[in-house]
Amino acid sequence: MKGACNSLLFAFLLSAGLAACDFRSQGEVIYQHSCNYCHMEDGNGLARLILPFEEHRFVEDRQILVCTVVKGLDQGDTGHFMPRFDKLDHAQLANVLNYIRGLKKMQAPPFTDLEVSRLREACH
């Protein structure tokens, strides 16, 4: 009986611990803490104030996309502004971009930390 009780207690504690764990991906966590406030939960932005994520940027303009995230954006003439996220390492940046790809159901190829490293080095 004591062994059965210990097994039940262990199973309960394990399930309670797993329920309390955060199983979100690193990309999702970064998005929720850094991008969600402006680009919104669905990535569609706010009308003309905050631009939505566009698939062509994830396919054709990967260099511009990475540089924009790292260096930020300040277009006084259009009013578009985005803070810089230069503290993200290559893997974190790849993960958040891949989270956005999934969020928007894009067909663009996934980013790797090696690709992000290469693209980031070319930012001026």
Q: What pLDDT does 97 receive? A: 95
Residue ranges in the chain whose pLDDT is less than 50: 9, 12-20
Q: What pLDDT does 18 receive? A: 44
Reported in sequence order, the residue ranges of the chain that DSSP labels E, i.e. its strands, are: 73-75, 80-82
Domain spans of the chain?
Answer: 24-121
pTM confidence score: 0.76
CATH fold for domain 24-121: Cytochrome Bc1 Complex; Chain D, domain 2 (1.10.760)
What is the dihedral sign for C-alpha 18, 94, 85, 105? negative
Assigned token pair, 99: 């989270």
Q: What pLDDT does 59 receive? A: 84
State which amino acid sits at residue 16: A
Q: What pLDDT does 101 receive? A: 93
